[in-house]
Amino acid sequence: MKTSALFCLLLFAFAAFAASQPEMDLSCRAYKPDLSMGPEKIIAYDLTHGLWLPEGKHSTTIQFNDDGTAIQFSEENGTSSVSFMIWSVSSVDGLPQLSTISSADGSLQQYVVTSDCEGMNLLNTNTWEVQKLLYRPMVASSKLKELKADLRGEWTAYASEPRRGQPQAVRFQFSNDDTYTRLLDMGGTEIPERGVWELSKDGNFLLLHACARNQPNVCESTTVYQMVYCDDHSLQLKPVTQRVPTKEMALKPQPDGLLSFIK
C-alpha cells in the first residue's frame, strides 16, 4: 500500500512539473517539427536533430544519435574529454521520459522531459533536480559534406626522429564508404586497424570505430580525435580519448600534442 501511494505521489509530482512548464514550442528549431507524433516521439526526434548544451556548461555539447547512443564532448582548461551513453525515450502515463545509461559505470538516469523554444527541461526522477538543455542547430549538411570530402583519401604522418620499436609512420585511409584503414609502419612491418569513421554533428571531432579482426561488423572500441585543422592536403588531429597509443604520439612530438598529417 505504501509503495502504491508513493508511486501515485511521484506521478502527481511529475504531472505537476509538466503542467507548470510552458506549452511545447518548437518554433525556434532549424527543422520543421511534426507535432502530430506522440510526445515521446517528438522528444526523440528533437534530440537527434540538434546539438544540446547543458545550461551553464557552454563548453559541453551532447550529441544524440539515431542508433540510441549519445556522445558528450567537453573541454576544460584546454583539455578535451568525451563520454558515451545509451539513451531512449518512453512514455510514462503520458509523460515523455528520457533514460540514459553511462557506458563508464552503467549508472541509470531518468528524466521527465518538457520542451520549449530554448530547449528542454529535464526533471531527474531520483534527485528532483531540474536541468536545462539548450538547443543549438546542427552544422549545415553542406559544410559537413565539404569537410568529409577533404578528409577522404590517404594521410601520412612521419616520425621526426625514428626510434627502434616505435612507428616510422602512421597512415590513415578514409574511404568513400565511411570505412577506414590505419597502418602503423614499424619499419618493414605494418600493423593494420580497420573500422568505420564518422564526424560529430558539429564537425569538430573525428570518431574511429575499430572493428574486431575476425568480426568486421563488430565495433571493438572507439577512438576520438579533435579536428584542429583540415583542408585537401593538410590535417591536424588532437587525441581526446585515452585509447590513443603513446607510440602514435611519438611520431610528431609537439608542445600542443597535435598529430600532423599530409595527403
- 196 with 93, same domain: the answer is no
**Measured between alpha carbons, how far is 223 from 208 in angstroms, rounded to an integer?**
5
Q: What is the pTM of this model?
A: 0.76
- 158 with 110, same domain: the answer is no
- 169 with 112, same domain: the answer is no
In this prediction, residue 163 carries a pLDDT of 67
Domains in the chain: how many in total?
Answer: 2
- 92 with 115, same domain: the answer is yes
**Measured between alpha carbons, how far is 142 from 147 in angstroms, rounded to an integer?**
9
Mean pLDDT, to the nearest integer, of 112-122?
93
The parent domain of residue 50 ranges over 2-136
Q: Is the pLDDT of residue 248 over 80?
A: no
**Measured between alpha carbons, how far is 64 from 50 in angstroms, rounded to an integer?**
8
Domain boundary among 136, 152, 180: 136
Q: Is the pLDDT of residue 219 over 70?
A: yes
Domain boundary among 89, 117, 136: 136
Q: Is the pLDDT of residue 5 over 80?
A: no
- 120 with 203, same domain: the answer is no
**Measured between alpha carbons, how far is 33 from 93 in angstroms, rounded to an integer?**
23
- pLDDT tens for residues 126-153? 998 999 999 999 988 899 999 999 999 9
In this prediction, residue 24 carries a pLDDT of 63
* DSSP secondary structure letters along 42-79: HHHHHHHTSEEEETT-TTEEEEE-TTSEEEEEEEETTE
- pLDDT tens for residues 53-73? 999 887 899 999 998 999 999
- 96 with 30, same domain: the answer is yes
* Higher-scoring residue by pLDDT: 160, 155: 155
**Measured between alpha carbons, how far is 205 from 82 in angstroms, rounded to an integer?**
10
- 164 with 192, same domain: the answer is yes
CATH classification at residue 33:
2.40.128
- pLDDT tens for residues 12-35? 444 544 444 445 677 888 888 888
- 160 with 191, same domain: the answer is yes
Q: Is the pLDDT of residue 245 over 50?
A: no
Range with lowest mean pLDDT among 54-68, 185-199, 208-222: 208-222
**Measured between alpha carbons, how far is 22 from 39 in angstroms, rounded to an integer?**
14
Confidence band, pLDDT 50/70/90 cuts, at residue 41? very high
- 132 with 145, same domain: the answer is no
